[in-house]
Amino acid sequence: MSSLRAYRQIVRRPSRKIYVGPVAVGGDAPISVQTMTNTLTTDVDGTLDQIRRSAAAGADIVRVSCPDEDSTKALKDIVAGSPVPIVADIHFHYRRAIEAAEAGAACLRINPGNIGSEDRVREVIKAAKDYGCSMRIGVNAGSLERDLLEQYGEPCPDAMVESARRHMRILEDNDFTNFKISVKASDVFLAVAAYQALADACDYPLHLGITEAGGLRGGTVKSSVGLGMLLWSGIGDTIRVSLSADPVEEVRVGYEILKSLDLRHRGVRVVSCPSCARQGFDVVKTVATLEERLAHIEEPISLSVIGCIVNGPGEARETDVGLTGGGGGSHMVYLAGNQDHKIGTEAMVDHLVALVEKKAAVLAAERAAARAAADEPK
């Protein structure tokens, strides 16, 4: 193993494996990407539109809030029309959890301590077992139990982990271990410290998130810092980037975080320069256009777009397709790290899109052939 490869290797924390529908979470499963709809759940068509767009962007799992009975009634149609497993977000009323399980939810997001007596918790657990649901214990710094706040004086990692332990014990005492856990906070330091402590305290899969992170730009930065620290240290089995934005953007940011750490490989990874007076074409405009036009690509492909020859050839050697700006409106195109041909500015974007799409088609065919070979009887 080269020194660079060894330096980049992330050893994930060992954890149990559970399933959210057909999606494995924990164990040796890939780190899954989640988002949550922000439509009214009773708006079935609008909610399904968000779910389908999120799934097309790569969402493995989508969460839907179920605050009332009308929402759980609508959930049945949403589950039936969804291309990905649905997590029902439940707070306070245990009946909503039972109704969501009956409606086909793949997972119930609850805090066992806030849905009532032990008898009610047992009813929810029975429904989860009867309908094959997993659960997520969702601890949040903004809604910790009053006695824990009095004991610790403020939200802190110890209080959050103690809250998680309480909820874990409730499920374990009722012979239910098919769950994952989150300990979210809007403060990056608090969230990271709580997850680190929880990772040492149990072997259940962990759902990562910096809750209420903010808008698209600020929330992306906060989530990247917090989730990046945890993922780099091997902690985390599924993630949700919480943004005050379109859920599709949460999915895109989630994948960019995972791709930057070499943990998931989906879509085009663009390497581009910030541009300067040396640029041979408008790098900023070109990259924005390429990102939009290549958003449909699912195969893992790397593309470098560099405005001049200072760093362009070096970056191109490491990418599947590369472009380096040259003088007189003539730019060098690299394929598999090698100089291949030149292209003019006007035809440049269409040409790069075509090259990436061609590469994606080859990779998709290879993947299909490998899958078919694996399915052949031995």
Give the annotated binding-site residues for [4Fe-4S] cluster.
273, 276, 308, 315
Tokens of 148: 């824990």
Comparing C-alpha atoms, which of 358, 248, 365 is closest to residue 297?
Answer: 358
Tokens of 70: 């009308």
CB 101 within 8 A of CB 126: no
Q: Which residues pair with 238 in a beta bridge?
A: 32, 207
Q: At what angle do helices 283-293 and 345-375 cross, to 10 degrees?
A: 30
Q: Which residues pair with 136 in a beta bridge?
A: 109, 180
Q: Which residues pair with 110 in a beta bridge?
A: 137
* Residues 193/194/197/199 CA torsion (nearest 10 deg): -110
**Integer Cα distance of 138 and 90 in angstroms:** 10
Q: What are the DSSP calls for 288-313, one per residue?
A: HHHHHHTTT--S-EEEEEESSTTTHH
Distances (CA, A) of 323 to 93, 196, 238, 334: 56, 41, 34, 6
Comparing C-alpha atoms, which of 216, 224, 292, 215 is closest to residue 255?
Answer: 224
Radius of gyration of the chain (CA): 23
CA distance from start to end of the chain:
33
Long-range interactions of 220-226: CB distance < 8 A, separation 24+: 220/253, 222/188, 223/253, 223/257, 224/253, 224/257, 225/188, 226/188, 226/191, 226/192
Long-range interactions of 218-221: CB distance < 8 A, separation 24+: 219/243, 219/244, 219/245, 220/253
Comparing C-alpha atoms, which of 289, 274, 357, 356 is closest to residue 321?
Answer: 356
* Chain centre to alpha carbon of residue 369: 27
CB 90 within 8 A of CB 66: yes
Q: What is the DSSP letter of 141?
A: G
* Binding-site annotation: residue ranges: 273, 276, 308, 315
